[in-house]
């Protein structure tokens, strides 16, 4: 199954307190967070092009990677993804957070298998903690954690579907792409994963990496 991938890497990373775009943080292995996020897709022969969406000042040199395209991001995450979607040519597209460098080959393989019978797929892990709903710092409800999914990326879609969803919801804010698809009544298939595919967000997330 051939696909393109959009890697969203245009955030400022203010909560990481690094003073620069967090995807360029270098891990102990000498690679940047973004390098690790790109590497898996570069090695996958089914991945036709890697579309990295980043800030204008962070545009990267792609001379050594013939799959790589760089695109300037927008004001919000959804604007950045939309800019990336304009460059997608394959029938399927994966959308991945540049700050998730720990995704594994088996995750990508599982997603591709799920796409055979589904037009929208979300990678995620089950909640292990007790989940509370609060209002003004007071617990108002405890919900069944077995019905809770902690969404991860990549999320994958038939390209025509996700492009159509973005066109229909240009002015709607949402935190991930599957929530956009859900809002329009489409089914999103879940692919379960472990908790090790976490997103690097806060300063403490970068300790001992």
Are 81 and 94 in contact by the 8 Å Cβ rule? The answer is no
In this predicted model, what pLDDT tens digit does every residue of 111-156 receive, in sequence order? 999 999 999 999 999 999 999 999 999 999 999 999 999 999 999 9
**pLDDT bracket for residue 55 (50, 70, 90):** confident
Model pTM score: 0.93
Phi and psi angles of residue 6, each rounded to the nearest 5 degrees, phi first: -100, 125
In this predicted model, what pLDDT tens digit does every residue of 64-83 receive, in sequence order? 678 999 999 998 999 999 99
List helix spans (H) across the chain.
Answer: 33-43, 77-85, 105-115, 159-168, 177-183
Q: Is the dihedral of CA 195, 196, 198, 200 positive or negative?
A: positive
Closest CA to 4 of 111, 98, 92, 72: 92
Which domains does the chain show, CATH number per domain? Answer: 3-206 (3.90.550.10)
pLDDT at residue 96 above 90? yes
Closest CA to 157 of 184, 124, 120: 120
């Amino acid at each position: 199954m051939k696909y393109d991938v959009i890697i969203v890497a245009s955030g400022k990373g203010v909560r990481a307190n690094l003073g620069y775009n967090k995807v360029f943080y270098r891990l102990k292995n000498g690679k940047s967070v973004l390098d690790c996020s790109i590497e898996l897709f570069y090695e996958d022969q089914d991945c036709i092009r890697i579309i990295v969406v980043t800030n204008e000042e962070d545009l990267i040199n792609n001379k050594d990677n013939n799959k790589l395209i760089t695109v300037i991001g927008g004001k919000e995450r959804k604007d950045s993804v939309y800019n990336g979607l304009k460059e997608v040519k394959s029938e399927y597209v994966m959308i991945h957070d540049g700050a998730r460098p720990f995704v594994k080959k088996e995750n990508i393989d599982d997603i591709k298998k799920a796409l055979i019978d589904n037009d929208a797929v979300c990678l995620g892990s089950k909640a292990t903690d007790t989940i509370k709903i609060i209002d003004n710092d007071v617990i108002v409800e405890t919900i069944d954690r077995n019905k809770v999914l902690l969404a991860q990326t990549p999320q994958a879609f038939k390209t025509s579907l996700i492009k159509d969803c973005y066109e229909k919801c240009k002015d709607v804010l949402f935190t991930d792409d599957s929530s956009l698809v859900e809002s329009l009544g489409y089914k999103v298939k879940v692919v379960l994963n472990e908790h090790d595919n976490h997103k690097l967000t806060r300063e403490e997330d970068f300790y001992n990496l």
